[in-house]
Structure 1
Amino acid sequence: ERTFALIKPDAYPRYRKQLIKQIIEKGFTIVAQEEVRLTTDVAEKIYGDMSSFPVYDRIIEFVTSGHSLALVLEGADAIATWRNLVGPTNPKTAKFEARNSLRAKYGLDAQKNAVHASKDHQEAKR
């Protein structure tokens, strides 16, 4: 199975090597990777399901504010495995519920939470 992952602007310049190391250690194959600066159009496609959330505009502004690393990951049950490794959206929650998750280790707040994880097959494909 394949999934989409994004190392966001808050984590990309500082933690990409550590994040990639943990991705590989978890058993994923990195099928593709590209340094990107997301356009608003692309960011809206990635986060479109959140358009009704009050913080939507801030999320789009943040993910388009700097360079990110877009990844296609492959592995057994990749979507669920990646979401589990990433942890809860809010790093403060992640520190209590999933102390070893990527967001617990590298996230700053609910928007600057280091990485994106697709929630299902449709979102991963999009």
Structure 2
Amino acid sequence: MFKQSLLLGAISGILAGIASVIYQKVYSGTLGADFAALAKPLNIVITCFVSGLIIATGYWLSNKWFKTKGEIIFNLVFAILSFASILPAFAFKLPLDIEMPELFPGLVVPMHFFPALAWFTLKPLFIKTYEPYNKVFA
């Protein structure tokens, strides 16, 4: 289970990093606001990759500690942490020579949700949590 989780975390982290860099290119090309000096593409990919590994470890630990309720607890904590992670983007102090600083949160806030999106998209391919539907609900 840990190997599957770690592989899922690595692949979803790389996918999230690639999606973030593509989003950065589209954002800067469309709006003309280039924040590549602040949000370097390599740093974005590394951050997404490491976050994918942290997500995988958290998923494995929550399933180990909480057994049958592990997945729902993990999903709840993961969603809360994803939303909480955007707060520093609004508090980040930009250098005074940056043009259009008001566009910076519009660049980085969506990137905070890409690891979660990649994780939840790829999870059914790596981790099978099948429960038959023939149970009788009372």
Fold shared per TM-score above 0.5: no
The normalised TM-score by structure 2 is: 0.28
Q: TM-score, normalized by length of structure 1?
A: 0.30
Question: Computing the radius of gyration over CA atoms, which structure comes out larger, 1 or 2?
Answer: 2
Please identify which structure carries the higher helix content. 2
Higher strand share: 1
